[in-house]
Structure 1
Amino acid sequence: MHTLIDDIVDAYGGAQRWADVTAICACKHFGGAIWGLKHVAGIVEDGEVTVWVQRQHTSLRPFTGDDLRSDYTPDRVAIERIDGPTLESLDGPRSSFDGHTLETPWSALQLAYFTGYAMWTYLAEPINLTVPGVVIEQGTDWVEGHQVWRRLHVTYPDSFATHSPHQVLYVDDEGLIRRRDYQVDIAGGSPAAHYVSDFERVDGIVIPARRMIYVRDEHNNPIPDQLVVSIELTDIRVV
């Protein structure tokens, strides 16, 4: 039986096309308050990102230096020379956030972990929703302005590094994911309303080029003057 997830995957280019995608690369600009709040301003705001779609692997460059890049997997993060050896690494990075609040500063390696898992979650979607172990339940519809969006409650397995095990996706009539709600567990569980727009078709798949992430209030609405993160992608390439 054709499911809502099938409709979503079809809207983004189809399962067959996504199965042939190795990586998505783009120039990126990050904004928002989190970088200064976490004492990591100036490290990741501009540069390039590469996400390997079929496995949880991300790299940002430059990263703390013009000739350096980050290397993220769920079990290990590192800072490497682009044409040389690893300078720093951290195994089991998730545990390094134990006891963190929203105001706790991040190290450069912790920044590599956060940006790595976040960009993989975003750019490998929707195909990562089809991975065995991901549990999806359809919830009640949500009215956003003049639009009605279908809500999906997604529970990720322990093998996924992401903001929180349970997240809510909002899907429009075309099958595009327009919003996601979660709490950032590694930053004291801060609640977020994450909006997605500027969808581009690149080499047969659909990729959002703009994301705006706000603090979410107790009524499930974004607080417009509390922009936590913004993401803008240009020169998107599919490998």
Structure 2
Amino acid sequence: MLDGKELLKRVIERHGGQKQWDKVNKLVVYARTSGIALPLRFRFKVFKDYAAEISTREPRVVITPHPVHGSRGGFYRDTVWIESAAGQLLEKRERSRQAFGDFRHKIWWDNLDAMYFAGYALWNYLTTPFILLQQGMQIDAMEKWQEGNEEWHRLRVLFPETVPTHCREQIFYFDDDGLLKRHDYTAEVFGKWAKAAHYCTSYRQFGGFKFPTRRTVYPRNKVGFPNRSITLVHIEIDDIDLYLQDED
């Protein structure tokens, strides 16, 4: 069994390599999202068809449109906001993660809550596996996992508190070629019960990097198996533009 560092090195190279990734400043991702997760919090019409500008340098995302055409949402670390197309600030919230601890958030989210969730989630997803190179990550290899007829390598990762993400402990699954196939976590902004198995398929190459263009998230039971009859989140990516450091 490969140790954690060896496996991560293989994974990074398979997805495009750290040297090339270090030249990328941001991604612009054109995508559509569906599933029952956000409707469960009464956000029915958000993120249906959007462009997400995602920094590769820091946890920063801008989604257009949000929540409606003519406005856009922003996420930076623990702050979220909504502004007009002209840049006029309409709403803003700091210490966003703290807000999810109250009773209202167990039932209903507003547009800033939805922006926080989408912002940190998209930033995590689209910068994986390179996000695992950040300082403070604790990475260990686990025994292989049998998924149907395939055996997948696994990494257990403990995220530092400084990284906005679903939860501290997460598990990443990779095939023999080093491509990400599955990602397990608990979406704590929904609740400690919100254990998820996130599958990555339909890989395409953009700017020399491999990205899954279909992502589907299912509930996960205590022994690690997904309930495929329920789709929590489904993301379809149509295109990705990459911008290098010297480009606008």
**TM band (smaller chain):** over 0.9
Q: What whole-Å deviation, never above 9, does each CA across 1:83-124 have from its counterpart, x for those lacking one?
A: 221110000100000045985211110100000000000001
Between the aligned partners of 1:209 and 1:101, the Cα distance in structure 2 is 34
Alignment-mate amino acid for residue 234 of structure 1: D
User: What is the CA distance between 1:82 and its match in structure 2?
Assistant: 2.3
The residue number in structure 2 matching 1:135 is 138
Residues 229 and 102 of structure 1: CA distance in aligned 2, closer, same or farther (over 3 Å): farther
Match among 12, 33, 39 for residue 15 of structure 2: 12
The residue number in structure 2 matching 1:209 is 213
Match among 91, 98, 122 for residue 88 of structure 1: 91
The residue number in structure 1 matching 2:163 is 160
Match among 43, 53, 61 for residue 46 of structure 2: 43
The residue number in structure 2 matching 1:187 is 190
Q: Aligned residues: percent identity? A: 29
Residues 98 and 143 of structure 1: CA distance in aligned 2, closer, same or farther (over 3 Å): same
Q: How does 1:53-92 map to 2 (within 5 A)?
A: 53-92=56-95
Unaligned ranges ≥5, structure 1: none
Q: How does 1:171-186 map to 2 (within 5 A)?
A: 171-186=174-189
Match among 202, 221, 228 for residue 224 of structure 1: 228
The list of structure 1 runs, each at least 4 consecutive aligned residues, that deviate by more than 3 angstroms after superposition, is 99-103
The SS at the match of 2:143 is coil
Question: Which moved further from structure 2: 33-42 or 115-124?
Answer: 33-42
The residue number in structure 1 matching 2:239 is 235
User: What is the CA distance between 1:35 and its match in structure 2?
Assistant: 2.0
User: What is the CA distance between 1:44 and its match in structure 2?
Assistant: 1.3
Q: Number of matched residues?
A: 239
TM-score in terms of structure 2 length: 0.93
Between the aligned partners of 1:11 and 1:101, the Cα distance in structure 2 is 43
The SS at the match of 1:115 is helix
Between the aligned partners of 1:121 and 1:101, the Cα distance in structure 2 is 26
Indicate conservation of the 8 Å contact 2:81/2:91, yes or no: yes
Q: What whole-Å deviation, never above 9, does each CA across 1:179-209 have from its counterpart, x for those lacking one?
A: 0111111111211010001111111111111
Between the aligned partners of 2:62 and 2:81, the Cα distance in structure 1 is 10
Between the aligned partners of 2:108 and 2:83, the Cα distance in structure 1 is 22
Alignment-mate amino acid for residue 125 of structure 1: T
Indicate conservation of the 8 Å contact 1:23/1:238, yes or no: yes
Unaligned ranges ≥5, structure 2: 244-248
Indicate conservation of the 8 Å contact 2:38/2:114, yes or no: no
Residues 102 and 198 of structure 1: CA distance in aligned 2, closer, same or farther (over 3 Å): farther
Task: Kindly report the root-mean-square deviation, in angstroms, between the aligned alpha carbons of the 2 structures.
Answer: 1.5
The SS at the match of 1:173 is coil
The residue number in structure 2 matching 1:151 is 154
